[in-house]
Homo-oligomer: A and B are copies of this chain.
Amino acid sequence: MHNTSTLTKARLFICLFSTFILATGLLFSNPAAYAENTVAREPILVTGHSNPDTDSTASAIALSHLLNQLGKSAVPMTQGPLNPETKYVLERFSVPAPELVGNVANRNIAIVDFTDTPQAPAGFDKANLVFIADHHKLGNVTSSSPLEAWILPYGSTATVLYQVYTYYGIPVPKDIAGIMLGAILSDTVIFRSATATDKDLESANALAKIAGVDDIAALGMKLFAIKSDISQKGSMELLQRDYKEFNMNGQKIGIAQLEMTDSTPALKRKAGFLSAMKDMKEKTHSQSVLFMLTDIMQGNTTLLVVSDNPQLIENAFSKKIVNDEMKLPGVMSRKKQLIPDLEKAFRK
């Protein structure tokens, strides 16, 4: 009895189905299902990580524009003041700086260039996460509903977002193309970083064309000249400029990086940096504070180390710490050349 009844229902269903659904396809008019997760009329706050850099800032602006083009209301935000390089990029392409983000509890949120909760704004654990674009290792953020996450191993989040624009067939406006180009050049160290891929070069060339930038390398060098000028900056300010916190097997580790076209002036300020690192370690109750002084012309890093367990840092890289520093030839990427070895050492 049940078999017959099921079969009859099935035949009826197939008939209705073939006629209405497959023939028309009109029932599916919603182009992106995650819209259903967002609270109606409330804009999505799009933000990069704490201590914003050029990639996280440009990517927040780029994703915000894309979401608006897809019919969601979104606004770009920043978690802190912009560094001189980022300010230059926004001014050069006439893009206004994002506003400071407040507590994001009970708000819709999209995050770019990070997936670790220590780098998220206050109230993040009570926010509704709807979108992620990133190019780092996957951190500990989670969501309560299906979301959209584009995490691709390219040299910058701007490169990832250029793929998302292409996927949705949304044109990149001229001004946003300019800041995305700046983000790629900054994050890939003008394609010299170990994280740089052919997609970064391809995307940069396409974005330069849209933005009307003829000399990509000259723009890149201008950015690094701005970043390299540390003469007017205090030690703590430079330490904090690109400082990221990580949780490694339960231990809090802070890792800062300065990328310079010439690291000589920075190396002369080592004593001041070590003092700032000790203050930072105490203030943040960290197990270690590391500072990468990266010379992008020479392609190497001097790592300053303040740690409760220097032996562990030495083990991670099979190198000795001499006078609070470790020479790391060929190392330019925190994400790809420092973090994985450190995490392995901390897990042992």
Seen from chain A, the residues whose Cβ lies within 8 Å of a Cβ on chain B are 2, 5-7, 9-10, 13-14, 17-18, 21-22, 25, 27-34, 36-37, 129, 132, 135-154, 163, 167, 190-191, 195-198, 200-202, 205, 215-218, 220-221, 224-225, 228, 261-262, 264-265, 297, 335-336, 339-340, 343-344
Closest chain B residue, CB of each to CB of A344? B144
Contacting pair B148 A143 (CB below 8 A) = no
Contacting pair A228 B149 (CB below 8 A) = no
Contacting pair B147 A10 (CB below 8 A) = no
Contacting pair B9 A297 (CB below 8 A) = yes
Contacting pair B198 A28 (CB below 8 A) = yes
Residues of B within 8 A of A150 (CB): 149-150
Residues of B within 8 A of A202 (CB): 25
Considering the chains assembled together, what is the distance between the CA atoms of A191 and B146 in angstroms? 17
Sample 18 A-B pairs with CB under 8 A, ordered by A number. A5-B262, A9-B297, A10-B225, A13-B297, A18-B217, A21-B217, A22-B205, A25-B198, A28-B196, A28-B197, A28-B200, A32-B153, A37-B340, A138-B142, A140-B142, A144-B339, A145-B340, A151-B151
Contacting pair A146 B141 (CB below 8 A) = no
Residues of B within 8 A of A265 (CB): 2
Q: Tell me whether A146 and B137 are in contact in the complex, defined as CB-CB below 8 angstroms, given that A22-B217, A30-B197 are known contacts.
A: yes
Contacting pair B141 A138 (CB below 8 A) = yes
Contacting pair B10 A261 (CB below 8 A) = yes
Residues of B within 8 A of A143 (CB): 137-138
Considering the chains assembled together, what is the distance between the CA atoms of A30 and B200 in angstroms? 12
Closest chain B residue, CB of each to CB of A28? B198
Considering the chains assembled together, what is the distance between the CA atoms of A139 and B140 in angstroms? 9
Across the A-B interface, the 7 shortest Cβ-Cβ residue pairs: A28-B198, A149-B151, A33-B153, A17-B217, A146-B153, A34-B153, A138-B143
Which listed residue (B32, B136, B261) contacts A6, Cβ 8 A? B261
User: From residue A24, how far is it (CB to closest CB) to chain B in Å?
Assistant: 10
Considering the chains assembled together, what is the distance between the CA atoms of A149 and B145 in angstroms? 17
Residues of B within 8 A of A340 (CB): 37, 144-145
Considering the chains assembled together, what is the distance between the CA atoms of A62 and B147 in angstroms? 22
Residues of B within 8 A of A9 (CB): 261-262, 297
Q: Looking at A9, A146, A343, which has the most chain B CB atoms within 10 Å of its CB?
A: A146
Residues of B within 8 A of A145 (CB): 137, 336, 339-340
Q: Tell me whether A343 and B144 are in contact in the complex, defined as CB-CB below 8 angstroms, given that A6-B225, A6-B262, A28-B197 are known contacts.
A: yes
Residues of B within 8 A of A261 (CB): 6, 9-10, 13
User: From residue A167, how far is it (CB to closest CB) to chain B in Å?
Assistant: 7
Which listed residue (B129, B139, B201, B228) contacts A25, Cβ 8 A? B201
Q: Looking at A7, A33, A139, A144, which has the most chain B CB atoms within 10 Å of its CB?
A: A33
Considering the chains assembled together, what is the distance between the CA atoms of A215 and B28 in angstroms? 20
Considering the chains assembled together, what is the distance between the CA atoms of A33 and B333 in angstroms? 14
Residues of B within 8 A of A36 (CB): 336
